[in-house]
Structure 1
Amino acid sequence: MPEPHLRAADADRAAVAAQLGEQMSAGRLTVAEYDERLARAYAARTYGELEELTADLPRPAAQPPAPAPVRPQPAAHGWHHGGWSGGPSREAAWRNWAVTAVIVLAVWTATVIGSGELRYFWPIWVIGPWGAVLLAQTLGRGRGDDDRRRLT
């Protein structure tokens, strides 16, 4: 991890949350420990705070090297003003959202069942804003396509 005093991003917090889930599945963390560490992971501001949450756990297996960055190519057609052009298809974006929603809901449900008490519904912060952005882009894309057809 980078220097402990540097600010962590949402992707860093999500990576630690995923690692904690794997460690709980492997039996290294109880549901209560997982729930407590997960809450701390999403509240963490620095890499140091995230490192504390996994310091007593084995490191994950070495990851393959990241692929070289791909230069975006202009799309032959699609929404060019901050939308879908050069990114995943609308269906793939919604499919990714749905898979993520199922995973975070399953984790939340497991913590509720494991603790025997209703917990704070944190998945709304993962699936809610993402779904709202996808919906806005999906609805905006339809209008943009209609406008372009009228111009040609």
Structure 2
Amino acid sequence: MAKEVVRRTETDTMRAADADRHKIAEQLKSALDEGRLSLAEYDDRVRDAYAARTYGDLVGLVDDLPRPGTSAAEVAAQRAAEDRRLARKLPMALMVLWTVWGSLAAVNLLAWFLVLVTVDSEIYPWPIWLLVPGAALGATTVGVQRIRSRRRR
């Protein structure tokens, strides 16, 4: 079983103020009013909120709750939008390869253009050969995205 890694930030260890505790208690009251928490859960969380010492303690009490007034349809729409965004995002290896290819293409085009304007004779357009690895990279990207979209279904 994989362990979940919890990263503590500097903010999580900072001391919370009474106003912060009260704000979390209000958010818990809204969740109770909307039926997201039972009365027993609400009592436990409010007690823990007023006993909390750090922001990390406070955030842990409400991180499983949506913003007050958010409906289930809005939560589902947000989740679907996040899933679509993640599906469009390229894997890091492809992002690196596209960056390298783009940089090489830009340098070659600039060099070819500088040679073209400084030499009186016609110059062979060697940067056109960069279309071959660009096409291969494009085909790989399309293939990877299709595989990823099939896995998500």
Higher helix share: 2
Task: Establish whether TM, by shorter chain, passes 0.5.
Answer: no
TM-score normalised by length of structure 2: 0.38
Structure whose CA Rg is larger: 2
